[in-house]
Each structure stands twice: as C-alpha cells, then as structure tokens.
Chains A and B, each alone.
Chain A
Amino acid sequence: MPGVPAGARLHVVTGKGGTGKTTVAATLAMALAEGGRRTLLVEVEGRQALAQLFDVAALPYEERHLAAARGGGEVMGLAIDPELALLEYLEMFYNLKRAGRVLKRMGAIDFATTLAPGVRDVLLTGKVKETTTRTTKDGRFVYDAVVLDAPPTGRIRQFLDATTEVANLTKAGPINRQSVGVLELLHSTRTVVHLVTLLEEMPVQETVDAAAELTAGGFHLGAVVVNRARPTLVTDGQVGPKGAVDLAELAHGLAAAGLDAALAEPLAGQLVEYADRQTVQAENRARLAAVDAPRIELPDLTPPVDLGELNELAAYFRADES
C-alpha cells in the first residue's frame, strides 16, 4: 500500500459511523493475507460484526479462522471482550482466576471495564498489542499483520490515547507498565491509522478533523479509504446551471432506443438529482486533498457483502501496491 511504512504491522481502521469501516477492515485483512501470509482481524465494540460479515457463528474471545485469502493466506478473527480480557490479564500476571470471580461478584469487573475512565480502552488496546507483538518459539511473528476494526473517528483519539490517561492516573503498578508499552507501539511507525469515509459532507469533515488530530497526537496516518463512491455518469454540459436539461434531445435519444419519450421528463429530474450528487462528491473529494495521505477509492457494492466481493475489493488495495 502506498504511503504505509514498510514496517507497519498494526493497521487501525476508523471512520465515521455508517461509512463501512468494518467492511474496509475486512478487505484490508484479506489483501494483507494474500500470498501465504496470515493476518488477524480484530473487533472491539462487541457487535459481532465480523461474524456477520464472514457469515460464521458468533466469535468467542478466541482467535478463529475467518477466511482463506488468495495464494494460500489466512485471515483469523478475534472479538475482544473487555471483561474477559481483564480476567485473562489477572490470570496471566497474578494467577488470580479465583480472585477474578470474587471481583466480578463485587462489581469491580463491571467498574473496571465499563465505568472507570479509559480502563476499558486500555484493556482493548493492550490485547491488540499482545496479538501484534506475539511471536513463536523461533522468534517469528505469529501474525504478519493485525487489522483493528477500531471505534469511530469521534472516539478514535480518545481510544488510542486512553493509555496516556491511565498511565497518568496510575503512576505505578502493572497497568501503568502495560500502558507505556501500548503507547510505544501505537505511536511508532509499526502502527498506521486508516480513515474510511464516504464522499459526503459530515464523514469528510470528520476525516479531515481526525487526520489533523491524529497527526498532532503523534500517530501515523495510513490511507484515506473512500467507500461507496458513485460512478461519474453525467458529463459537463448535460445539465445546465439551474438544472436545465434539453428535454427534446433527451426524448429524441429515448425514442432512438425504442423507449417511451414520455419518460424524458421524469428521467431528466433523476438526472439532475444525480448530477447534484456528483457535484457534492467532487467537492468532497477536493476537500479530502487537505489530508496528507494516499487515497484509495472502493466502488459501491450491494450489501450484504459476501466473501467473493471482499476478495474483489481487496484487489483495490493490491492495485495500489506498486
């Protein structure tokens, strides 16, 4: 992919709600797994979006096979549950399995995972870090790349920086140490943040804002991925200023195609509306130029997207590889 540091191992995919960031994250994971590589696709919002997208049973808190990629690659999936991540953490560092149960009864787990500021996000990013840096006995990475279907742009900075806040709040202790490690990974060139957007005003605005905020916060941008771009069908001059269309010319053309010339008027209305949308798209595309990151445009696909279509989309990332 263009503009992505060669050492990037963790791909964070964010975007405004409704822009299709889960589909884009899945596509990216497929593209990165091609040619015999192994990638892990991670979700953190408890929506079981990966299971739905890949049409498999709900994912437990365990890495599971999601799909085979072209050329013998494999995409694994993981849905991180913050509560289980905390229990795992307690067990791993303290052998505190039983204490975990006690804490749960007391509401402490609920507190730590849903109420304490940032602790939830720290647990999630902590687990992401663990999967990104995990190695086999002979020192090779278990995953060639990890793709994170991250929270939306409105929360992304807070999410990625939760560790900073907690590092400040907890000046000592293992969570502090953990936080520092996560911060290092997220701010290094091993991590890139991709922004998914539609060519609509609000998503583009959020993308531009998030890009500035992330850059200022010391994160590395990957690509801006434009999703569901509509094809350009109306050319200059076909729709006049104020939405004027030459109805006679249109009726003539329809008749030549053996269609009812009475369709000319409603079709002209539809044409004008589409031309308006096209103009808005072009304006928004121009506004994206403010973001200093390569742009990848994906075509609109019929939902629900299936595996074949994901593979098709993956080609868009591949095409940009050179």
Chain B
Amino acid sequence: MSTRRKPPVLDIDALLNDPETRIVVTCGSGGVGKTTTAAALGLRAAEAGRRTVVLTIDPARRLAQSMGLTELDNTPRRVKGVEGELFAMMLDMKRTFDDVVSAHSTPERAEQIFANPFYQALSSSFAGTQEYMAMEKLSQLAESGEWELIVVDTPPSRSALDFLDAPQRLGRFLDGRMIRMLVAPARAGGRASIKIVTLGLTVFSKVLSRILGGDLLQDVSSFVAALETMFGGFRQRAEQTYQLLKAPGTAFVVVAAPEPDALREASYFVERLSRDDMPLAGLVVNRTHHAVPGLTARRAEAAADALAEKADPQLALAEAALRVHVETALTAEQDARMARRFAAAHPDVATVPVAALPVDVHDLDGLRSISALLAGQPTAASRT
C-alpha cells in the first residue's frame, strides 16, 4: 500500500455560509454539469439564509424551468418554492452589450453604434462577447450591493479559460495600435487626412482591405470612431472585473466529471487560477459512481456466470443484480482511478465527489439532492 494521503475535502457549507464569500464562480469544460452545480450552490446558500442570485449562461431548458426561468432576461427573478431568497437570471448577451454602450455614450451616438453592421455582428456573434458580457453582468450585480452572494456560471467556451481572457483581450484590442490606426482616417475626415497618412498606415490599410474587403474595414472604422468616448470605460471595466475575480470574497469552484477530458480541463484551470492568484475553493467531481462495497467485480461476475449456467428462472433476479454490480463496480473503479490521478497531480486541491443520479435534474427537489451531495450529505436519491 502506498502512503498516498487523501486529498482534503471541499466543505461546501463552510464556503457558502461564510459571510465573507460574496462571489462563487463555477467553471469547467462543457457537459460536466457546471450550470446545475451553480444552481444547486445558489439554492443551498439561499436556504441557509443568504440573499443569493444565480447568473446562468445558456442553461438547459428543464434546468432553467426548475428555477422558473423561461427566457433570456437581464433581471434577476425570484425563484418560487424556495425557503429564503433565491433569485436567478439568464444572461442576455446582446442587451447587456447595448446597456454598456448606452451607459457610456450619448443617446445619438448610441443610436449610431447600434445601427452599425459591425456592432450588430460584434454584439451577437463576437468570439468572446458572451464571456465579456458575463463578466460585465457580474460586475453590475456586485456593484448593486443587493446581494449577499452571487453565484455565476461561466459560458460554454471553447476553452474553460476563455472567460478569464476574453475581457482583457477585448480591452487590449480596443487599446491596441491597430484600432488607433483604423480610427485615424475616420476621425481626420477628408482634408486633414493627408497629414495623418503615413507610409505604414497606407500599407496597413491596403493589406487589411485586401484581406477583409473594404466594406468591413469601413464599418469597423466608423464603429470604433463612434465608440471612442467609451474606450477608457471599456478598458477600465475589463480591468476592474478582472480585479474583482481576484478580490477576497471571490471563490472559484472547478467542476469536472471523472473523465480524462474533463479532468484535463480542470487541471489547466487549477494551474491557471494559481498562476493568476485567483482563489480556488476546490473541485467538484460530478457523476461519480459508487458500488455496493464488499463484493469485487470479478467475484460477482463468476457468481453471475454460475447462476446463468443453472438456467433456473428463480435465479434470474440474482443474476441481473450481480451483472449490474459488475457494471457499476467497474465504472466506480474507473472513476476512482481518474480521481486518484487528479489528486496525485494536485494534492492540495480540496475535492468533493457528487454521485451520479439516475435521472436528470428538472425540479427544485432534484437541485436539493445535488446540493446535499455537494455538502457531503446522503440524500433520498440514494434509496435502497
């Protein structure tokens, strides 16, 4: 036997009940139950007496319905059937962007921006806009001072890290030399442009026009000109949000499933958070399987085979139960091996396994089961 020490246990209740915890961010790769975890955490905190809002991005329909959400809505709505104050909202990316524009410019200029084809594409399909707007919304919720706890789900990005980088990337872009060059001709207008045009700019614009086509460049250029007054605002906000994520009171909960891809993403995330001094609360391993203890898969399989040979209908039930045990025990073993590999690489990361439920969560009771499992309590779901 090795002297491998067990990883510390992630104490969810201690995290949620600590009045110092103001923001919990759930992150991880797609399909691991990130949104469900966020909702369950919010529910648990609210039922423990904290005024809580859950900000979800693109939740599954039935999960959204379980919290009474029916459409994209930028306003937190009270979730019915919860003891305590739980609010939930689904991010409306475009509207959030429009609000940012309105807040930072005059009505006429805002109209100009809204009408720009480049802005329309940018605000609805810009790679990174969802991440940026999620962070923007988080800042707004934090600034409102209305919430004791904000639980925020991260967008289903290409990479789990995108939401950390997108706001800064946008800030860098808006601050970049390229933007200033693009904006120069539009700002200068016709006659003054001669003074401004340098050799570098000419080459640059030509190349860009050739790559992107002249119209797009024109749209971007006038968009940026209209946006100019907001530059400081944008950059500053991106920076502020980033700082908010590092501030005391923020905690990251990384969510994974006991599968190689999901745990690899979780590893990247854990490493990145530590590099950026962002506070990691721990890892939730969803969909972990457990088997009845005291019977190995091999023994169960031999017993099932022995029963099958007797071909007695009275024994079929026991055979089925044993075959189910083989299947479950092998899966559980696999899950445990995955978890051990992660723990070996990250021995200090507090972890909590959440048992796989036979059915998907689609109501508050389902969420309560998950929240109890998160807190390390057995639930009615593990009936015998």
Give the interface of A toward B (CB within 8 A).
16-19, 22, 45-47, 49, 52, 90, 94, 96, 99, 102-103, 106-108, 110-112, 114-120, 151-152, 154, 158, 165, 169-176, 200-203, 205, 230-231, 233-235, 238, 243, 245-246, 249-250, 252-254, 256-260, 263, 265-274, 276-277, 280, 302-304
Contacts and interface: CB of A to CB of B under 8 A. Distances in A.
Contact of A107 (B127, B172, B318): B172
B320 A233 contact: yes
A172 B213 CA distance: 5
Given A18-B262, A253-B316, A276-B359, 8 more contacts: A17-B31, A107-B177, A115-B169, A117-B126, A235-B316, A238-B316, A246-B317, A267-B322
A114 B122 CA distance: 12
Nearest to A90: B211
Contacts of B177: 106-107
A115 B324 contact: no
A259 B32 contact: no
Interface string B360-384: 1010000000000000000000111
B260 A303 contact: yes
B315 A256 contact: yes
A230 to B, nearest CB: 7
A111 B294 contact: no
A276 B358 contact: yes
Contacts, number: 226
A12 B382 CA distance: 40
Contacts of A115: 126-128, 169-170, 173
For the residues of B in contact with A, the DSSP-based class is helix
Contacts of A233: 320, 323-324, 327
A249 B317 contact: yes
Contact of B295 (A99, A117, A170, A263): A263
B210 interface: yes
B295 to A, nearest CB: 6
Interface residues of B, number: 82
A112 B217 CA distance: 12
B196 interface: no
Interface of B: 29-32, 58, 60-62, 117-118, 121-122, 125-128, 156, 158-159, 169-170, 172-173, 176-179, 181, 203-204, 207-216, 219, 257, 259-262, 264, 291-292, 294-295, 299, 303-304, 306-307, 310, 312, 314-325, 327-328, 330, 334, 338, 358-360, 362, 382-384
Nearest to B31: A18
Contacts of B29: 17-18
Given A103-B207, A257-B303, A277 B212 contact: no
From A45, A202, A271, A273, name the one whose CB has the most chain B CB atoms within 10 angstroms.
A273
B316 A266 contact: no
Contacts of B219: 169
Contacts of A256: 307, 310, 312, 315, 318
Nearest to A266: B292
B209 A267 contact: no
B325 A117 contact: no
A107 B178 contact: yes
Contacts of B322: 254, 257, 267
B178 A52 contact: no
Contact of A302 (B156, B215, B334): B334
A274 B321 CA distance: 9
B210 A267 contact: no
Contacts of B173: 107, 110-111, 115
24 contacts: A16-B31, A19-B31, A106-B204, A112-B212, A114-B169, A115-B170, A116-B212, A117-B122, A117-B126, A151-B158, A171-B215, A173-B209, A173-B212, A201-B60, A201-B360, A202-B31, A231-B327, A249-B314, A249-B318, A252-B318, A253-B318, A256-B318, A270-B292, A276-B359
Given A152-B30, A303-B334, A259 B295 contact: yes
Contact of A274 (B213, B316, B324): B324
Contact of B320 (A116, A170, A235, A252): A235
A234 B122 contact: no
For the complex of A and B, list the 9 residue pairs with the smallest distance between their C-beta atoms, beginning with the closest.
A253-B318, A17-B30, A18-B31, A170-B213, A269-B384, A173-B213, A17-B31, A276-B358, A257-B303
Nearest to A198: B31
